[in-house]
């Protein structure tokens, strides 16, 4: 019995492509592990803020007490009390962790009060929900009143469709252009740019914390992903296949890290220092381009290896 060879059949992958594909797989797994173990704000934007259905505002502080001021910050997520009186001011209990609390004369208190924050509250579009509590300002009762006003949510399916279209478009286009590696490098840098703008905008929405610290806290694992994308893109421009590996790993990190921010597709009020539509576009680009680059990387690396062995 003789064994017949079928010359028409040959391996789908060239020998040189296997190590590169294995490296890509390992890098993507490592990226996922890094994000899973990184102490980043996976459930919130910068400063612990979240997307909500309403905006909070402070309406009145009565009676007026000289030296005492209360203001609403960050669309009502937090309140700030400045005690310029000569006596302590007591914030009553019922506002969640941290209350009751006494603010000494000359001190300032910034806190998140469950009575006034829109976080976790369901408020219908156009609906106004009043809130109030009574301070004790040196024995004088002072009533603080405010409102939560609901806003209409965006059309989430449209934003999801755009995200999928960006990712799928990159996968398809990378197989049709002559230099798929350059396409992935450009798309990876676009994802990085969108991610940076997203983090900056989220940082600018925070009024209650230092700017620099808030930025680095919000950036998280992106502090690794951004240089990885930039370095990989530079290596691709120099004709190095290893650059594609770096671009894909950085893009995967970017996409995974921005994934919790898809709440912007479903909520009306976003913790972002700019128009809400800009934030949603940035999330679409960071997630869609990041995922698309990571998914397209294997085919592009295989093509590069085939060209090198030809």
pTM: 0.84
Q: DSSP for 253-299?
A: HHHHHHGGGGGGGT-SB-S-SS-HHHHHHHHHHHHHHHHHHHHHHHH
Condensed to tens digits (0 to 9), the pLDDT of residues 107-157 reads 999 999 999 999 989 999 999 999 999 999 999 999 999 999 999 999 999
Calculate mean pLDDT across residues 153-173: 96
pLDDT score at 29: 55
pLDDT score at 305: 75
pLDDT score at 32: 52
For residue 60, the tally of other CB atoms under 10 A from its CB is 12
Condensed to tens digits (0 to 9), the pLDDT of residues 25-80 reads 555 555 555 444 444 444 446 788 999 999 999 999 999 999 999 999 999 999 99
Q: How far apart are CA 263 and CA 143, in angstroms?
A: 34
pLDDT score at 44: 46
Across the chain, the runs of DSSP E, i.e. the strands, are 54-62, 68-73, 78-83, 89-91, 101-103, 108-111, 128-137, 140-150
Condensed to tens digits (0 to 9), the pLDDT of residues 232-272 reads 999 999 988 888 989 999 999 999 999 999 999 999 999 99
Helices 242-258 and 222-237 sit at what angle, rounded to 10 degrees? Answer: 150
Confidence band (pLDDT; 50, 70, 90) for 22? Answer: low
Residues 6+ apart with CB under 8 A from 289: 166, 167, 170, 187, 188, 190, 191, 194, 251
Confirm if 153 and 53 have CB atoms less than 8 A apart: yes
For residue 179, the tally of other CB atoms under 10 A from its CB is 14
pLDDT beyond 70 at 220 = yes
Task: Compare 222 and 24 and report the one with higher pLDDT.
Answer: 222
And the tokens for 305?
Answer: 């290896």
Q: What angle do CA 87, 91, 96 make, to 5 degrees?
A: 160
Mean pLDDT of the chain: 87
What's the alpha-carbon Rg for the chain, to the nearest Å?
A: 26
User: Which range, 2-11, 20-29, 164-173, is most confident?
Assistant: 164-173
């Amino acid at each position: 019995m003789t064994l017949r060879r079928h010359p028409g059949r040959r391996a789908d992958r060239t020998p040189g492509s296997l190590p590169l594909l294995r490296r890509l797989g390992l890098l993507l797994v490592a990226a996922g592990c890094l994000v899973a173990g990184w102490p980043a704000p996976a459930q919130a934007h910068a400063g612990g803020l979240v997307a909500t259905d309403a905006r909070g505002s402070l309406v009145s502080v009565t009676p007026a007490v000289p030296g005492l001021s209360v203001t609403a910050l960050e669309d009502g997520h937090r309140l700030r009390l400045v005690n310029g009186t000569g006596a302590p001011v007591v914030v009553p209990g019922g506002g969640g962790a941290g209350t009751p609390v006494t603010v000494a004369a000359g001190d300032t208190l910034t806190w998140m009060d469950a009575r006034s924050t829109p976080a976790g509250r369901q408020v219908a579009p156009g609906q106004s929900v009043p809130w109030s509590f009574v301070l004790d300002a040196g024995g004088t009762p002072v009533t603080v009143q405010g409102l939560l006003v609901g806003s209409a949510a965006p059309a989430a399916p449209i934003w999801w469709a755009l995200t999928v279209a960006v990712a799928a478009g990159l996968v398809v286009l990378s197989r049709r252009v002559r230099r798929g590696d350059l396409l992935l490098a450009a798309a990876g840098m676009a994802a990085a740019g969108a991610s940076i703008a997203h983090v900056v905008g989220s940082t600018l929405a925070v009024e209650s914390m230092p700017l620099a610290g808030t930025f680095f806290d919000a950036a998280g694992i992106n502090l690794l992903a951004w240089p990885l994308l930039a370095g990989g893109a530079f290596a691709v421009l120099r004709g190095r296949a290893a650059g594609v590996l770096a671009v894909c790993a950085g893009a995967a990190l970017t996409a995974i890290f921005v994934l919790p921010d898809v709440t912007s597709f479903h909520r009306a009020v976003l913790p972002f220092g700019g128009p809400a539509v800009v934030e949603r576009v940035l999330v679409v680009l960071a997630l869609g381009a990041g995922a698309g680059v990571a998914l397209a990387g294997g085919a592009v690396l295989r093509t590069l290896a085939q060209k090198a062995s030809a």
